A and B are shown apart, each in its own frame.
Chain A
Amino acid sequence: MQISSLLQEQAVLIPLNTADKQTSIEAMVDALAAGGSVTDRDAYLQAILAREQTGSTGIGFGFAIPHGKSAGVSRAALAFAKFARPVDWDSLDGNPVQAAFMIAVPAEAAGNEHLQILIALSRKLIHEEFREQLLQVQNAEQLTDLLETI
């Protein structure tokens, strides 16, 4: 799974200056919609929020991976936000989130595409060196390079 190819340039938000989880999620959804991979903003937003209600996607280490599968998504895509101020995400370890990857997958996507993306992301985020470098990236180009190299 080459996740750098899913990254949507318009949806790389560095920094994202938002006050809370809700506005952060909406900003990332809007960015994916602006890039064209999300065609029905409200439908996709509902899928993301419904997922968060079953349990936070804050996985610890200061990162969150909100994700949703929806008919409002035309093609699989990835957004990234580095928050200007840490955001409370109801994370399992109780710590606020410094950055988030958002995954969008079409409703009719074959098999478990979003699971494959989650696995690929988690295999990078588990490495402390990757997390440190991720928090240093300044733009989409640097992020793409980082996702490709590690």
Chain B
Amino acid sequence: MLTREAVIVNESGFHIRPAQLFTEQAAKFTSKISIAVKGTNTVADGKSILGLMTLGLAKGSEIVISAEGADEQEAIDALAELVQSGFGEA
């Protein structure tokens, strides 16, 4: 399993659209993907929009992305990049 820390940078946080983009990207990989709120036991399935929204992530929130499976390296690279890019939002 690989993990990578990331920080939410987009102004409006992790609302439906970013959660949707994240799950769409996560679904391209066979690895099991999850997001944890750094420093807590709160974890959500990285392929569930509703699950990701329950985390209540706002700008500045620190997260830990985990990927486990055959394509975990590619998955974690792509997903960390997506979060760090602010999901293409300003």
Interface residues of A, Cβ cutoff 8 Å to B: 54-55, 57, 59-61, 65, 67, 92, 112, 114-115, 118-119, 122-123, 125-126
Contact = CB atoms under 8 A, between A and B. Distances in A.
B82 interface: no
B17 A126 contact: no
Q: Is the interface of B mostly helix, strand, loop or mixed?
A: helix
A54 B87 CA distance: 13
Contacts, number: 42
Q: How large is the interface on B (under 10, 10 to 19, 20 to 34, 35 or more residues)?
A: 10 to 19
A59 B50 contact: yes
Contacts of B12: 112, 115
Interface string B52-66: 011010100000000
Contact of A126 (B13, B15, B24, B50): B50
Nearest to B53: A122
A60 B50 contact: yes
Contacts of A92: 20, 23-24, 49
Contact of B15 (A60, A61, A118, A123): A118
A68 to B, nearest CB: 12
A65 B49 CA distance: 12
A69 B15 CA distance: 14
Interface in B1-59: 12-13, 15-17, 20, 23-24, 48-51, 53-54, 56, 58
Given A123-B56, A126-B54, 15 more contacts: A54-B17, A55-B20, A59-B49, A59-B53, A60-B48, A60-B49, A60-B50, A65-B16, A92-B20, A92-B24, A112-B13, A118-B53, A119-B53, A122-B50, A123-B54
